[in-house]
Homo-oligomer: A and B are copies of this chain.
Amino acid sequence: MIRENQCYLNMNTIALITDFGLKDNFAGVIKGVCLKINPEASLIDISHGVLPQNILEASFLLLKSFSFFPGGTVFLVVVDPGVGSQRRALAVKTRNFYFVGPDNGVLWQSAAKDGIKKIISLTNKKYFLKEPSSTFHGRDIFAPCASYLSKGMDINKLGNSLNKIKSLCLPMASLENNRLSGEILYIDKFGNLVTNITKSQFLKFTKRRRFRLHIKSRVVNKIYSFYNQALSNNLFLCEGSFGFLEISLREKSAAALLRAKLKDKIIVKV
C-alpha cells in the first residue's frame, strides 16, 4: 500500500503509452493538458510507437515497464480503437500505481499483477475538458483524469466504482507431446524476436540436453548468456531484458532474416 505522506512526494510521474506516433501533436497536447492541471508532473514517454490499435502490444509494453517506475506513477495508456463508442473509460488504483485508459483489456494484466485496489469508471464530467470530442478521449478525458490523480486527488471523485474490468492475457507457452510450443510476443527495434518462453520453462523442458527450436522452417540450436558470445550470422537464443527467451542475430536483425512477425509460432524439441 502507498502511504499517504509518501504519495504526495512521489506521485507526480505520468508515464505514457500510446499508438499516436511522434509526427502529430497528439502526445504533446496530452502533456499540455496534464501540465495545466498539475504543473509539477513529470511526463515520461514509455512508447508512442505501439502498432496502430494493437491492444496486445500496448499491454505487453505496459506489463514490462510499470514496475521500474516510482511508486505512485500514473500510467496513461491510450490505445483505443473503440473511442467514442460505449466502451468504458477507467482509472484503476493498484497496490503501488494508478492506471488510466480505455476498458479494452490493455490495463488488465499489469493492474492485476500489481494488485487491484479500486476500479473507477470515469464518468464525472467535472474532471474532463469542456466539450470532449468523440475521437480523442486521450486528450479530453484520460489526460485530465490522470493528471488529477498525479496531484494526489482521491480516485473516487472521478466516477463510479466498478467490480471488474475487461481482461486480456498475453498468450502462454504450452507443453504437449514432448514439445514446448510458443509464439512471438514482441519484436524490438534491433530485430530481436521476443518469445513467450521463459528461460526457466526452457531449462525445465530441455534439462540442458541438445535442443532444436523451429521457427519458419529454420532451426535454432544455440543458447547464450549475452550477444557477444554468438558467432556472426548464426541465430541464437538469449534471455532478453523482458524476461523471455529471444531469438537474436549478433549485430543484425533476426526479424529481417526470418521475415518474422508477431504471433509467428515456435516449437522446441529435444
Listed in ascending order, the chain A residues whose CB lies under 8 Å from chain B are 9-10, 12-13, 15, 17, 20-29, 31-33, 35-36, 39, 42-49, 52-53, 61, 64-65, 68-70, 73, 81-85, 133-136, 139-140, 188-190, 225-229, 238-241, 251
Contacts and interface: CB of A to CB of B under 8 A. Distances in A.
A48 B22 contact: yes
Nearest to A139: B241
A78 B81 CA distance: 33
A20 B53 CA distance: 23
B68 A239 contact: no
A199 to B, nearest CB: 11
Closest 6 CB pairs of A and B: A84-B226, A136-B241, A23-B49, A28-B46, A32-B69, A21-B189
A207 to B, nearest CB: 22
Contacts of A46: 25, 28-29, 32
B42 A44 contact: no
Contacts of A251: 52-53, 81
22 contacts: A12-B39, A22-B47, A23-B47, A23-B189, A24-B47, A24-B49, A24-B189, A25-B47, A28-B46, A29-B46, A32-B44, A32-B70, A33-B68, A35-B42, A35-B44, A39-B70, A53-B251, A68-B139, A133-B240, A134-B225, A135-B227, A140-B241
Given A35-B69, A81-B251, A134 B44 contact: no
Contacts of A136: 240-241
A65 B32 contact: yes
Contacts of A229: 84-85
A69 to B, nearest CB: 4
A7 to B, nearest CB: 12
The CB with the most chain B CB atoms within 10 A, among A9, A17, A46, A239, is that of A46
A85 B22 contact: no
Contacts of A35: 13, 42, 44, 69-70
B48 A31 contact: no
A28 B135 CA distance: 26
B189 A70 contact: no
